[in-house]
Structure 1
Amino acid sequence: MPDLPPLREVIARHGLSASKALGQNFLFDEQLLDRIAAIPGDLSGKQVLEIGPGPGGLTRALLRAGARVTAIEMDPRCLPALAELEEAFPGQLTVIHGDAMKLDHAELIGGEAFEVVANLPYNVGTALFVRWLSGEDWPPLWTGLTLMFQQEVAQRIVAAPGGSAYGRLAVLAQWRGEAKLAMKVHRSAFTPPPKVMSAIVHVTPAAMPEGVSARTLERLTEAAFGQRRKMLRQSLKGVPGAVEAMDMLGIDPQRRAETLLVGEFVALARHLDRAAKR
């Protein structure tokens, strides 16, 4: 294992500071970083995608765990520090300078199965998460998502029906996957400390429900939770066939979106897809 200088020393030497515009918050606690890298299980020899590595704190932990890491970094200021890690772990780290929202992740990995482990920049975290969960091809090439979010967002992802936290993110994460809150991270662990607490969510893909289009489910959840205070008969009236489908499935149209189980949303989407094929 290479003898690396402390991360704070690397940051000072390269004159780095967290960029608010890029949603950056740095983690220095190596024990904490090792615990995060351990959440997906044994990473030895496995391919890992990391988004927004910054100066490479979590990257170090992933490399120590034996992972082969492909890291996408948008901030050119961080590239020299990451280049030092590439040199210290020859053949184990590939750094790509670019915007993760605009790159084909599966193509970058070379079509190989991969884990995603990232302290996501706050300003793109939710958009990337939805992207990984969307799409018709399932199971995906990623075998797990271990992602840090603001705690409020993390709670929305793992929420159960019936509460205010339950919404579109919960349905998208849970209809063909298993999502759990793996760890809470206090704001004081970061430099600079964010205004909110953080938490790590771990998602693993499950079987794809048969006869359901991801696009249809996304349309349903967007309409239902876009007007979550209204009854479903009102919020879903813009989705052709949805109100009739509720009647066929015995779903009370006076209910609100937050009361519907994930399975009920899936059943609605399946009914609409079948009707569209007739």
Structure 2
Amino acid sequence: MTIPTPPPGPEPLRETIARHGLDARKALGQHFLLDPGITARIAGLAGDLAGQNVVEVGPGPGGLTRALLDSEAGRVVAVEVDTRAVAIITELASRAGGRLEVIEADAMRLDLTTLCPAPRQVIANLPYNVGTPLLVGWLRQAAAWTRLTLMFQQEVAERICAAPGSAHYGRLGVLAQWTCRCGVLMHIPPGAFSPPPKVHSAVVGLIPHAHQPDAALFRAMEQVTAAAFGQRRKMLRGALKPLGGESLLAEAGIDGSRRAETLDIAEFDRLARLHMRRAAA
């Protein structure tokens, strides 16, 4: 089927979607954000983009991509797995004067730091079904990013930013706050999307700390938090038994009768460093 030639300037996103026959697919976690006011605000939440290279994951029909191109970003790299959406973003790239590169690939299989030089950011409305694993992968490389501005389901956003002792505090929050300064920047209702999801969404800003753990320490933290939160109802002496249990906790100065959700980031850091040293001994 021949796709009609696009008009010379930007057309409304709904018309672009209709022209390409781009229906949102549940299997890809797609919910398209069409309001240019909202996409412009998300781009603005990323701070001053002058001289920054931006990676966008899952651009879909390109609403946020348009906003990024309207910003001062030096270059935008759009990573999209859906061939139908790639055609739309490629069309947009043809009018972007070389500032937009389109890569058809699964972001889960890519090292995004290889796509553009520093300083670099990720700004994305992430597909709901892969948002969390993508974030954890980027946290492993937090030193490579100036900032991450990401949209998630609201529940995931709350987990990322949750304080110790709160209902949403868990492994994801520890990893995120250990490596970054985190905050919920914006809430977005279901009606802003096409089709509307069943849940609210939120934009989270993550600014990496100046000092980052090396790969061995990050692995140790992943192991400690997986064990600690894997059995939330257990006291730490039981949950951490495979990693040393009482002995590890005593060396860290932490009461073994406590539960994982009561530990702050500094206490998890102590446990991870001790576990790493023990594993290397």
TM-score (ref. length: structure 1): 0.93
Taking structure 1 as reference, are residues 210 and 125 closer, same or farther at Cα in structure 2, changes over 3 Å only? Answer: closer
- Alpha-carbon distance in structure 2 between the residues aligned to 1:18 and 1:7: 13
Counterpart CA distance in 1 for 2:213 and 2:207 is: 18
Cα distance, 1:270 vs structure 2: 1.6
Q: Distance in 1 between matches of 2:25 and 2:174?
A: 32
Q: Quick check: 1:144–1:205 contact (8 Å CA) kept in 2?
A: yes
Query: For 1:55-204, what aligned pairs fall within 5 Å after superposition?
Result: 55-67=61-73, 68-109=75-116, 111-134=117-140, 140-204=143-207
Q: Which residue of 1 aligns with 2:3?
A: none
Q: In structure 2, what is the equivalent of residue 258 of structure 1?
A: 261
Q: 1:237 pairs with 234, 241, 266, which one?
A: 241
TM-score, structure 2 normalization: 0.92
| Higher fraction of helix | 2
Instruction: Flag structure 2 segments of 5+ consecutive residues without an equivalent.
Output: 1-7
**Whole-angstrom CA distance in 1 between matches of 2:219 and 2:51:** 35
Deviations 1:91-130 (A, max 9, x none): 1100000110111211122x43311000000111101001
Deviation at 1:271, TM superposition (A): 2.1
Q: Does 1:21 align with 2:27?
A: yes
Indicate whether 1:220 and 2:227 are aligned: no
Offset at 1:147?
Answer: 0.4
* Worse overlay, 81-90 or 116-125: 81-90
SS of 1:169's equivalent in the other structure is helix
User: Which of these residues, 198, 208, 212, is aligned with residue 211 of structure 2?
Assistant: 208
Superposed displacement of residue 250, structure 1: 2.2
- Residue matched to 1:50: 56
- Cα deviation for residue 54 of structure 1 reads 0.5
Q: Offset at 1:209?
A: 6.0
* Deviation digits for residues 64-108 of structure 1 (CA, Å, limit 9, x no counterpart): 013210000000011221122101111110000011011121112
Letter in 1 for 2:202: A
Whether the 8 Å contact between 1:242 and 1:268 is mirrored in structure 2 is no
- State yes or no: 1:41 paired with 2:47: yes
Give the superposed CA RMSD. Answer: 1.6
2:250 alignment partner in structure 1: 247
Aligned residue type for 2:221: L
Distance across 1 between alignment mates of 2:54 and 2:213: 29
Aligned mates of 1:42, 1:58 — CA distance in 2: 16
Secondary structure at the aligned position of 2:107 is classed as coil
Contact 2:52 2:118 survives alignment (8 Å)? no
2:130 aligned partner, one-letter code: V
